[in-house]
Chain A
């Protein structure tokens, strides 16, 4: 809200500069977002929090400033007593409120002999400084009074109304109204309207109708000053997509006690500037008058919550300055009644806040909490996340963070087969749904950096992924994914320091992750359409699939204009949390007996997987196998077509005795025989 400083000073005569006033207001809770110097003086742009509708006016701001600076608040202009005939108005217009729950009060005055013209310069100046456009003397006065008091006003052309009767009611289905902005609004039964005898003439608290607008030809006006329930105004304004100075104020609460004053002030101003002759008297229907309950304020409670003890005098002064009625009811207890414009004050805590605020938050001391010791800790999920990040960073990957929301993407598939969760009425494709996979984001990061010629292109992310299962249950779980394209480090004069990535670099990184998490993953061929059909594996933990590692198809490398392969992996972390958390390594004494190392080099048909060879080795290891390593895989001459040779380095050891060669030889011989009979392996030796 924009407000000239001199306007505030008129009601709160503080001996401070504009800058100091801005500072005081900010520290009192009315944040001054900018201070603009104009020819006529400084203009403040004040951010009023949604609970303080009473401060959407010059008087409201002045009251806060006066309280903060401990100077007397002047209040608004006095209303001069009127002449006789104060009851004549009742013969001219009637007001009927059909919905007292939605309209607490409705006051109307009549102005005759209108001479529509421009408003005086000083008024125009203030309106312009406050960000409003001068229109005509009568409209300007209604706006001006709204800026002074916070009470929205509206003027109708009385002769344009069907009869002298105002009815505050809900719209009937099918009714419509052309509002002042020239838009035809369809009304529904939950919208409060101002109607004449025939039809709606204004949408209550939001905007008037064009047909009853005050024009050059208007001679008699009906001035409305009313109080509408904020929920109703807000709902209607939102439904109609309207936001006006009036609706903005009503939504944030307008003082029901200020209704008549605003109408009277407007009439007085209209008379003063010669715009018309107000008919004495007011029609004031006030079905929603409410007794404001008294609250107890305990000074001990106040001290306990704000951290220091203000004196009784300070409490009385602070609250009185804000318009509270306050007296001491017993020792240490004040009976307070909030001012009518402070509907946000609901309990003792709100009163305590006002005391602390006026006395200044800088008075609050600093103290560290005493009381019972609490145990600081992180969550298991977060600790696992930290271990995952450490492992991948150690493997040379750079951590990225990507958007949760994304446009549909071919890489965005759920490992669990979940459907995508869509964002309702999304404004753009990029914000249209929740990621089911971290891979689309990582691919985009790789792509962006590749285009700028940057590297190494190796990224990972941990974060939440989402999906909807077939029964419609929405699932959120943690996951980790990585993408690598090209070497893991910059080019170097040291040749072949680290190989170019292929499936096995990805799998190696996953295996290292498993070691760091003290887990054992198994890998088996998979058939995810997103990846290279012959270079992808499902990651299995305890018979459950938890992830995937594979190469992206060659088209992707072409898209990235690289000859390097692109390797990715994604693992669901939530399902492995238990395994990670509940795993404890048990101590094994170091081996006391020597090991025997042997190589085994079967030649097998190409389609026999290493897993099958491994299985045979384990099956015949006689519990003596300590380690199995693949040290060579070879195809090509002198091997025949369709054959490969594997070299396995085996380590045998017993924890109880020194092994003999013949024991190991027997085991090896069993392995060979089994390989020969299971898949036709041949051996060069023996």
Chain B
């Protein structure tokens, strides 16, 4: 075996034995470097007999190409191995929990209110805000409450003075919303109400109520039933049946309380009825031309029904164990 063949063999062996890029480049320098063996053989070429010089030169060149290819291939292989090693070193325990990103929550009453609004706005109702600190006129007088009437007994009121009180019902919005407007009206409001109640699992002195009303030509109890059905179906999902039962509220006539049939039971949702002609007339809407309906419902009640909550007090207690469930 001549020197050229030996060089090729040594290069191949050296490349194969190199384990890292560094080892490989050391071998490469030894063989192909400016002071390497191939260069030394090239230098000897001029001492060769002239007739062999050409073929010898060609062999040396071929050898250089072959060695370069060997090193290039080996370099690729080592790179792949090294990459693999690096990735292996970076491997983490993916079963550990992730970086905690702070997460807030919406209060269940806000979530429910947002949903109620979405449905009612979709049904063409315009929302309106009214004060929690109301006056007697809007909370009672404008709603057809006769002075001194026992109907007040059902609404034990927090008074600030003779004129100002904490609203007992969001229905107080009606007078504010009708002022200076003309039918067709579809108005809704949502907010806090207050009544003197001993606090227990089903009663609270502070609660949230939605009040909805509509005034237009030809509004009837059938329209009320239809809207309630559409509303309840959207809120609770599925086909919901609506039932009326006679009830009394001074501001509606006929007055009803309405229930929905949902998941195999009747659930009372709130009071409703046709707006009393006295109220329409008081706002300059001729009751012979216009009629209207109104209904109310409790925000807490909706959430309790949907999620099976049994204690009303949870909503204002703000225990994280409660709030983080929804």
A binds B: yes
When distances are taken between beta carbons in the complex, the residues of chain B under 8 Å from A381 are: 129
When distances are taken between beta carbons in the complex, the residues of chain B under 8 Å from A5 are: none
Asked whether, in the complex, the Cβ of A376 is within 8 Å of the Cβ of B126, the reply is yes
Known contacts: A366-B229, A367-B223, A368-B226. The answer to whether A378 contacts B117 by CB under 8 A is yes
Asked whether, in the complex, the Cβ of B225 is within 8 Å of the Cβ of A402, the reply is no
Most chain B beta carbons < 10 A, residue from A308, A369, A494: A369
When distances are taken between beta carbons in the complex, the residues of chain B under 8 Å from A405 are: 158, 166, 194, 205-206
Known contacts: A349-B277, A365-B222. The answer to whether A235 contacts B148 by CB under 8 A is yes
Asked whether, in the complex, the Cβ of A376 is within 8 Å of the Cβ of B160, the reply is no
When distances are taken between beta carbons in the complex, the residues of chain B under 8 Å from A307 are: 220-223, 225
Asked whether, in the complex, the Cβ of A353 is within 8 Å of the Cβ of B223, the reply is no
When distances are taken between beta carbons in the complex, the residues of chain A under 8 Å from B323 are: 398-400
Known contacts: A50-B154, A361-B256, A371-B217. The answer to whether A349 contacts B276 by CB under 8 A is yes
> Which residues of chain B (226-248) have a CB below 8 Å from chain A?
226-227, 229-230, 242-248
Whether B24 is near chain A, meaning CB under 8 Å from some CB there, is: no
Known contacts: A234-B148, A368-B230, A452-B319. The answer to whether A423 contacts B132 by CB under 8 A is no
Whether B284 is near chain A, meaning CB under 8 Å from some CB there, is: no
How far, in angstroms, from A395 to B103 measured CA to CA in the complex? 7
Whether A364 is near chain B, meaning CB under 8 Å from some CB there, is: yes
> Scoring A residues 364 to 393 as 1 if CB is less than 8 Å from chain B, else 0, what string do you get?
111111111111111101100010010011
Q: How far is the CB of B273 from chain A (nearest CB, A)?
A: 9
Chain B: CB-nearest residue to A303: B220
Q: How far is the CB of B98 from chain A (nearest CB, A)?
A: 8
Chain B: CB-nearest residue to A477: B131
> Which residues of chain A (428-483) have a CB below 8 Å from chain B?
431, 434, 445, 448-449, 452, 454-456, 458-460, 463-464, 466, 474, 476
> Which residues of chain A (272-297) have a CB below 8 Å from chain B?
none
Known contacts: A234-B148, A350-B253, A398-B323. The answer to whether A361 contacts B104 by CB under 8 A is no
Asked whether, in the complex, the Cβ of A424 is within 8 Å of the Cβ of B107, the reply is no
When distances are taken between beta carbons in the complex, the residues of chain B under 8 Å from A489 are: 100-103
How far, in angstroms, from A423 to B158 measured CA to CA in the complex? 7
How far, in angstroms, from A399 to B184 measured CA to CA in the complex? 37
Question: Is the contact region of chain B dominated by helix, strand, or loop, or is it mixed?
Answer: mixed
Whether A96 is near chain B, meaning CB under 8 Å from some CB there, is: no
Whether B219 is near chain A, meaning CB under 8 Å from some CB there, is: yes
Most chain B beta carbons < 10 A, residue from A353, A489, A492: A353
B166 interface neighbour in A347, A404, A422, A460, Cβ under 8 Å: A404
Whether B122 is near chain A, meaning CB under 8 Å from some CB there, is: yes
Tally inter-chain residue pairs, CB-CB below 8 A: 246
Asked whether, in the complex, the Cβ of B107 is within 8 Å of the Cβ of A371, the reply is no
Asked whether, in the complex, the Cβ of B104 is within 8 Å of the Cβ of A422, the reply is no
Asked whether, in the complex, the Cβ of A401 is within 8 Å of the Cβ of B315, the reply is yes
Interface residues on A, range: 35 or more
Asked whether, in the complex, the Cβ of A423 is within 8 Å of the Cβ of B245, the reply is no
> Which residues of chain B (179-224) have a CB below 8 Å from chain A?
184-186, 192, 194, 196, 205-206, 214, 216-223
Instruction: Give the B interface residue count (CB, 8 A).
Output: 87
How far, in angstroms, from A398 to B166 measured CA to CA in the complex? 27
Asked whether, in the complex, the Cβ of A459 is within 8 Å of the Cβ of B318, the reply is yes
Asked whether, in the complex, the Cβ of A490 is within 8 Å of the Cβ of B223, the reply is no
Whether B161 is near chain A, meaning CB under 8 Å from some CB there, is: yes
B131 interface neighbour in A357, A377, A476, Cβ under 8 Å: A476
Known contacts: A307-B221, A347-B277. The answer to whether A386 contacts B114 by CB under 8 A is yes
Whether A497 is near chain B, meaning CB under 8 Å from some CB there, is: yes
When distances are taken between beta carbons in the complex, the residues of chain A under 8 Å from B94 are: none
> Scoring A residues 335 to 377 as 1 if CB is less than 8 Å from chain B, else 0, what string do you get?
0000000000001011011001100011011111111111111
When distances are taken between beta carbons in the complex, the residues of chain A under 8 Å from B121 are: 376-378
Known contacts: A304-B291, A372-B184, A489-B101. The answer to whether A50 contacts B151 by CB under 8 A is yes
When distances are taken between beta carbons in the complex, the residues of chain A under 8 Å from B205 are: 405, 431
Whether B106 is near chain A, meaning CB under 8 Å from some CB there, is: yes
How far, in angstroms, from A235 to B256 measured CA to CA in the complex? 29
Q: How far is the CB of A307 from chain B (nearest CB, A)?
A: 3
Whether A646 is near chain B, meaning CB under 8 Å from some CB there, is: no
Asked whether, in the complex, the Cβ of A369 is within 8 Å of the Cβ of B223, the reply is yes
> Scoring A residues 93 to 105 as 1 if CB is less than 8 Å from chain B, else 0, what string do you get?
0000000000000
Chain A: CB-nearest residue to B254: A353
When distances are taken between beta carbons in the complex, the residues of chain B under 8 Å from A372 are: 184, 216
When distances are taken between beta carbons in the complex, the residues of chain B under 8 Å from A474 are: 133, 160, 164
How far, in angstroms, from A400 to B122 measured CA to CA in the complex? 28
When distances are taken between beta carbons in the complex, the residues of chain A under 8 Å from B136 are: none
When distances are taken between beta carbons in the complex, the residues of chain B under 8 Å from A434 are: 133, 160, 166
Please report B residues at the A interface, Cβ cutoff 8 Å: 96-97, 99-107, 109-110, 114, 117, 120-129, 131-133, 147-151, 153-154, 158-161, 164, 166, 184-186, 192, 194, 196, 205-206, 214, 216-223, 225-227, 229-230, 242-248, 253-256, 274, 276-277, 291, 315-321, 323-324
Please report A residues at the B interface, Cβ cutoff 8 Å: 26-29, 31, 49-52, 231, 234-235, 251-252, 304-308, 347, 349-350, 352-353, 356-357, 361-362, 364-379, 381-382, 386, 389, 392-405, 421-425, 427, 431, 434, 445, 448-449, 452, 454-456, 458-460, 463-464, 466, 474, 476, 488-490, 492-494, 497-498
13 extra A-B contacts, CB within 8 A, seeds A399-B104, A399-B323: A50-B150, A50-B151, A362-B244, A365-B225, A369-B223, A382-B117, A389-B110, A399-B105, A404-B132, A421-B160, A434-B133, A464-B192, A489-B102
Nearest 8 interchain pairs by C-beta? A396-B102, A307-B222, A29-B246, A393-B104, A49-B248, A353-B254, A376-B121, A488-B102
